[in-house]
Amino acid sequence: MSFILTAVIMFIFWILLSGEFNIVLILSCIISSLFVSYISHDLLIGKTDIKLGLIRTLRFIKYIPWLMWQIVLSNIDLVKRTLHPRMPISPTIFSFRNELRTEMGMVALANSITLTPGTITIDVNKDEFIIHAVATELAEGLMEGEMQRRIKAIEGEAGV
Amino acid sequence: MDIIRTIISGILIATGCFLIVIAAIGVVRFPDFYTRMHPAGKGDTLGQGLVLTGLMVYEGFDLISVKLLIIIIFIFIANPTATHALAKAAYVAGVKPWVKDEGDGK
Amino acid sequence: MFNIAATVIVLAAALVIYRAIKGPRIYDRVLAVNVIGTKTVVLLALIGYIYERPHFLDIALVYAIINFIATIAFLKYRQTGGLD
């Protein structure tokens, strides 16, 4: 199942990138997408239940607008701090508990933390996230854990 | 209609260029490695995203703008990941973070 | 419009080269090179529009991937001393 799905995705991707249709191109497209998905069909889809994966993808799309707004806020904050003549920064390193179970969720949360105001992820393991914050007050904002709640909502119920 | 589209894309490209310049200034100006990663991870990502979105608006909807969208999505995933990998490598190697009022922390 | 944007981005990259030369650590240099690489992606896309040759976008896409993989590969080499 994951083999067919990967092959279809590769096929669509090829069409999008080339944008030309003739018999040689389409034939080499089919051959190469079948070959690539034969080698690596367990990388893209993995062992996740496909229906659950689809539901999570839809939930993630709903999460994107909020994330975009946070990215804009973080860039305004960054511009202020960079151009301020005295540089109002007080860097700290702190950690908080990791309550997520899926690897995809951890990746999403780590990337979201890096993109949102004043914080970047340094390390992730099974128990905790280690975060570097450019100012102490921003670290407290993250500790309230709204982002983790949202990612947990995307993960939803059981299943890996 | 065309003029409006050109103006919108001009605004987007100008904002993106501004953010890219800010990121460059930040990389030069911040005091230590960890703080330098903040502009590299955030300012650059959104700056590029805005410039490429500007090109997308200028182009209208066709295969080229889909290509641009693919580049934008890839950058939004890859750039924070590269930043994170750098931060982790430095953290494991034992680079000390700069702390206010306590030496220069090189 | 595209000419001005491309010039501004080149100037920003020139600013970052200062950090790549000065260091002081190897991680600062890798960071600077990564930042320059991501600016190059935008620059390639803009050049495609300046010369009206949309094929530059393919180069930009490939360059984005190479830039990411180069950073990851270098850091892995640095951490473990090998690429296995």
**A99-121 pLDDT tens trace:** 777 777 777 788 888 777 778 88
Q: Using CA coordinates, name the residue in chain A closest to B22.
A: A79
| pLDDT level of residue B106 (50, 70, 90 thresholds) | very low
User: Which range has the worst mean pLDDT, B64-68, B96-100, C5-9, C34-38?
Assistant: B96-100
- Distance from the Cα of C32 to chain B's closest Cα (Å) equals 8
Which B positions 37-66 lie with beta carbon below 8 A of chain A?
37-39, 41-43, 45-46, 63, 66
Asked whether residue C9 carries a pLDDT value surpassing 80, the answer given is yes
pLDDT attached to residue A45: 67
Q: Which of B51, B72, B67 is nearest to B9 (CA)?
A: B51
Q: What is the mean pLDDT of residues A44-69?
A: 76
Q: What is the mean pLDDT of residues A14-43?
A: 82
Q: What number of H helices and E strands is found in chain B?
A: 4, 0
* pLDDT above 70 coverage of chain B, percent: 90
Asked whether residue B104 carries a pLDDT value surpassing 60, the answer given is no
List the domain range (segments joined by +) for residue C59. Answer: 2-80
pLDDT attached to residue B6: 87
Q: What is the mean pLDDT of residues A116-143?
A: 76
pLDDT attached to residue B32: 80
Amino acid at A11: F
Asked whether residue B105 carries a pLDDT value surpassing 70, the answer given is no
pLDDT attached to residue B26: 84
pLDDT attached to residue A48: 63
Q: How many domains does chain C have?
A: 1
Residue B78 CA: distances (Å) to CA of A106, A135, B30: 15, 25, 23
pLDDT attached to residue A64: 83
User: Which range has the worst mean pLDDT, A147-151, B2-6, B26-30?
Assistant: A147-151
The CA distance from A89 to B36, in Å, is 12
| pLDDT level of residue A14 (50, 70, 90 thresholds) | confident
What ipTM did this prediction achieve? 0.81
Which tops the pLDDT comparison, A108 or C82?
A108
Helices (H), ranges, chain C: 2-22, 26-50, 56-80
DSSP secondary structure of A16-81:
HHH----HHHHHHHHHHHHHHHHHHHHHHTTTS-HHHHHHHHHHHHHHHHHHHHHHHHHHHHHHHH
pLDDT attached to residue A46: 64
User: Which range has the worst mean pLDDT, A54-58, A71-75, A87-91, A155-159?
Assistant: A155-159
**CB-CB under 8 Å, A71 with B46:** yes
| pLDDT level of residue B100 (50, 70, 90 thresholds) | low
* pLDDT above 70 coverage of chain A, percent: 86
Q: What is the mean pLDDT of residues C23-48?
A: 86
- Distance from the Cα of B87 to chain C's closest Cα (Å) equals 9
**CB-CB under 8 Å, B23 with C42:** no
Mean pLDDT, all residues of chain A:
77
Asked if B69 is an interface residue toward chain A (Cβ–Cβ < 8 A), one would say: no
Asked whether residue C41 carries a pLDDT value surpassing 70, the answer given is yes
Q: Which residues of B touch C (CB under 8 A)?
A: 6, 10, 13-14, 16-17, 20-21, 23-25, 27-28, 33, 36-37, 40, 44, 47-48, 51-52, 55, 58, 64, 67-68, 70-71, 74-75, 78-79, 81-82, 85-86, 89-90, 92-93, 95, 106
